[in-house]
Amino acid sequence: MSKFNNSKIMPRYSAIAIVMSLVAVAVIGKTVYTMTAGRSYWMEVAASQKKDSVTVKPTRGNILSCDGQLMASSLPEFKVYMDFNALKEAGNDTAFVDSINYISKGLNNIFPEKSPAYFKQRLMEGFHKMSKHWPVWDERIDYNTFKEIQNLPIFHLSKYQSGFHWDEFNARRRPFGSLAQRTVGDMFGAKDTARCGLELSYDSILRGTNGIIHRRKVRNKYLNITDTPPVDGADIVTTIDVSMQDLAERALLDELREPNVNGNVGVAIVMEVATGDIKAIVNMDKCSDGKYREVKNHAVSDLLEPGSVFKTASIMTILDDGLVDTTYTVETGPGVWNMYGRDMKDHNWTRGGYGTLTLPWTLKYSSNIGVSRIIDLHYHKNPEKFVQGIYDLGLATDFHVPIVGYSPAKIRMPHKNRHGQYDNWSATALPWMSIGYETQIPPISTLTFYNAIANGGKMMRPRFVKQIVKNGEVLYDNPPQVVKEHIAKESTIKEITRILTEVVSEGLGKKAGSDKFLVAGKTGTAQMSKGALGYKSGGTSYLLSFAGFFPADNPRYSCIVCIQKTGLPASGGGMSGVVFHHIAEGIMAQSLKLNVTDARDSSSILIPSAKTGNLLATDYVLNCLGFNVTNGWNGAYPFGNPVWGTATENGKSITFHKEASLKGGRVPNVRGMGARDAVYLMEKHGIRVSLTGRGRVIEQSLAPGDRLARGMKCSLRLG
């Protein structure tokens, strides 16, 4: 007999089986429902828990000067927010309310332009709305400001505990401000795309390669899982020399602002003779507010009639063809000469002209009649030969300059139709082309031509980028490139160099010269055409130029300066030549290496006076000059973090006195400092600076110790 009572047990098993069957049916039913009617809902839930193929942007490469200084770099910027819903879920909402006064006061210290009451009202508004993305500050902030906010009460907790979160951006910054701005280039910040300059030309190299990640929610936390890591962009090393760039910009701006100049556009380019390296390039436009800014890269894009700087090419062509020599003479008459029904005038025609001139003197005095008659007398029946000579000099060469907007020169070649008649040429075309009209040449091409003369006839391609590097490794080396080994005969180069030297020492280019070294070059003053409106409609505009090189006996640098202005006075030598003079003397002074003992005599001051400012830099300069500072660093830290203070002399030695660290949020005292240290210290505190005078700071418009406010401006007077 069975020990189990089937009549009692089987109903129980049946009940369990039925219940399990019903559960199974319910599960299957729920599954079917989820897969059909509830599919869209659960797909949305799944999407909220993950995110596939998220693009991760790499860090953009830097643009460096020739000696490795940063000219453009990507720095992080942040926008900060509060998630009050996360704050409440973490149970820290009460602590936030209790700390709101401290938080508001802290934000006021960071952003002095807004009061603590403003921040309290703003944050509490977001708190009551339980916003998940409430802006703490409406604008982007830098990394240091971000860390200050992150250290405030509640905000210092994790994002899941505090609700404090942020968006990070890569912002493009230029440590040297507007220096070479149009050449280095700009970015559309919001779109993270390049606008112009080297930023645009080398965008694919600087940008790098995007990475891919996907996001998953794991144990109530979102994790970013990398599929393909981003590849950061490479750095490009330019040929720009920051000190030369600054020198050229200041010299050009000073002249443009002169009341008798009042220029509309200014261009200055400095090129290294042996390599073709562009050491400085300045492009200035006068804007509607009267200030000068870099708006367009005129140096490589302006196709204008160059004027008298072209005469050098005309004379070189006829010398190289052997049709004349430097003893050749030409009659220029009283300063007006009729050329095929059109009057050609010299600049002194109202004073009776130059009469008979030798060939070199036609350049020294920049005689339109002299040059045009020499060329017309020998090439009138065969203008193709003259234009081919200009081509052979390299003026029409396409140099493939890596700046968007670059245009090679346009020099028209005469053409005959099937009847043997010129269909694009007139009788006056050759005379006027020979003096710089009827052609369109950008300043960069004119300078490259003069640089070739300085280089003994070897024409170098203008070089803007030397290397592409990454993590200290050179990925691509861009060596100097020779475009033409010889643009003319060696004898022609020597003769034209001597003539160009005399143009500066004896002719119209005297203001470009120096009493310290030889300068060679040529002036240019040309009326600018307004297209169909002609040359004089709406007031006469002029292109004033000076192109040359220095030192003329051993050329190291070539330079061109172009100024566009409206109305008289207008003088290429007297205006552009002055800028050339300042640039040349400044560059040569930078390369001088003198021993201080050479300057000592019975009346000299043996101990120099030092300005207030960065003691590390002062210590470095004094040690280079042979002076020891009693409590200095032996010149070992010229590029360290600044140590601020003063220096005193007691007749035999120099002693440094360090100043206490400046309090945050206060206007610094820059009296007694040089312009460089004063501007650095003010701008480090967010204060915009304007300068007048030279020497030490003797007056600052903002009182030292005043509380800082956003957008402050300070005028410094030096004397």
Instruction: Decide if 206 contacts 63 (C-beta within 8 A).
Output: yes
Enter the DSSP assignment of 680.
H
In terms of Cβ atoms closer than 10 Å to its own Cβ (0-12, 13-18, 19+), residue 218 is exposed
Q: In this structure, are 569 and 616 located in the same domain?
A: no
pLDDT at 641: 67
- Gyration radius from the chain CA atoms: 36
CATH code assigned at 651:
3.30.10.20
Cis peptide before 551 (omega within 30 of 0): yes
For residue 213, being part of any structural domain is answered with yes
For residue 582, being part of any structural domain is answered with yes
* Cα 664–chain centre separation: 31
Q: Which of 539, 560, 590 represents a domain boundary (last residue)?
A: 590
The first and second tokens of residue 60, run together, are 């953009």
Residue 33: C-alpha distances to residues 474, 516, 675 (Å): 62, 94, 77
The Cα–Cα gap between 648 and 654 comes to 6
Q: In this structure, are 553 and 667 located in the same domain?
A: no
For the chain, the domain total comes to 4
For residue 154, being part of any structural domain is answered with yes
Instruction: Decide if 160 contacts 217 (C-beta within 8 A).
Output: no
Q: Strand pairing of 265-272 and 557-566? A: antiparallel
Three-class HEC string of 560-608 = EEEEEEECCCCCHHHHHHHHHHHHHHHHHHHCCCCCHHHHCCCCCCCCC
Instruction: Decide if 644 contacts 613 (C-beta within 8 A).
Output: yes
Strand, coil or helix: 46: helix
The residue type at 48: S
For residue 42, being part of any structural domain is answered with no
Q: Which of 697, 694, 641 is nearest to 669 (CA)?
A: 697
The Cα–Cα gap between 622 and 303 comes to 48
Q: In this structure, are 250 and 220 located in the same domain?
A: no
Other C-beta atoms within 10 Å of 319: how many? Answer: 23
CATH code assigned at 190:
3.90.1310.10
Q: In this structure, are 118 and 156 located in the same domain?
A: yes
Residues of the chain whose pLDDT is less than 50? 1, 532
Q: In this structure, are 247 and 225 located in the same domain?
A: no
Strand, coil or helix: 343: strand
260-278 pLDDT per residue, tens: 999 999 999 999 999 999 9
Which segments within 83-228 are labelled E, that is strand?
A: 134-135, 141-142, 164-173, 187-188, 193-194, 211-218, 221-228
Q: Which of 214, 238, 262 represents a domain boundary (last residue)?
A: 238
pLDDT at 674: 85
For residue 336, being part of any structural domain is answered with yes
The Cα–Cα gap between 267 and 544 comes to 10
pLDDT at 194: 84
pLDDT at 224: 72
For residue 179, being part of any structural domain is answered with yes
Q: Which of 590, 615, 630 represents a domain boundary (last residue)?
A: 590
pLDDT at 269: 97
CATH code assigned at 371:
3.40.710.10
The Cα–Cα gap between 558 and 543 comes to 19
Relative orientation angle of helices 368-379 and 311-320, to the nearest 10 degrees? 40
pLDDT at 464: 96
Q: In this structure, are 224 and 310 located in the same domain?
A: no
Q: In this structure, are 149 and 254 located in the same domain?
A: no
The Cα–Cα gap between 560 and 395 comes to 15
Q: What angle do CA 446, 448, 451 make, to 5 degrees?
A: 110
Q: In this structure, are 581 and 610 located in the same domain?
A: no
Q: In this structure, are 91 and 205 located in the same domain?
A: yes
For residue 495, being part of any structural domain is answered with yes
For residue 599, being part of any structural domain is answered with no
pLDDT at 637: 61
The Cα–Cα gap between 673 and 234 comes to 38
For residue 698, the enclosing domain spans 604-718
Q: What pTM value is reported for the model?
A: 0.73
605-622 pLDDT per residue, tens: 566 777 777 777 777 777
* Cα 209–chain centre separation: 25
The Cα–Cα gap between 548 and 537 comes to 32
pLDDT at 365: 93
Instruction: Decide if 362 contacts 503 (C-beta within 8 A).
Output: no
Q: What angle do CA 577, 578, 584 make, to 5 degrees?
A: 85
The Cα–Cα gap between 187 and 147 comes to 26
Phi, psi of 304 (to 5 degrees): -125, 155
Q: In this structure, are 302 and 394 located in the same domain?
A: yes
Please provide the DSSP assignment of 479-543 as one string.
Answer: ---EEES-SS-HHHHHHHHHHHHHHHHTSTTGGG--SSS--EEEEEEEEPP-GGG-SSTTS-EEE
Strand, coil or helix: 434: helix
Strand, coil or helix: 658: strand
Q: In this structure, are 230 and 247 located in the same domain?
A: no
Q: Return the H-helix or E-strand segment holding 42.
A: helix 39-49
Q: In this structure, are 265 and 174 located in the same domain?
A: no
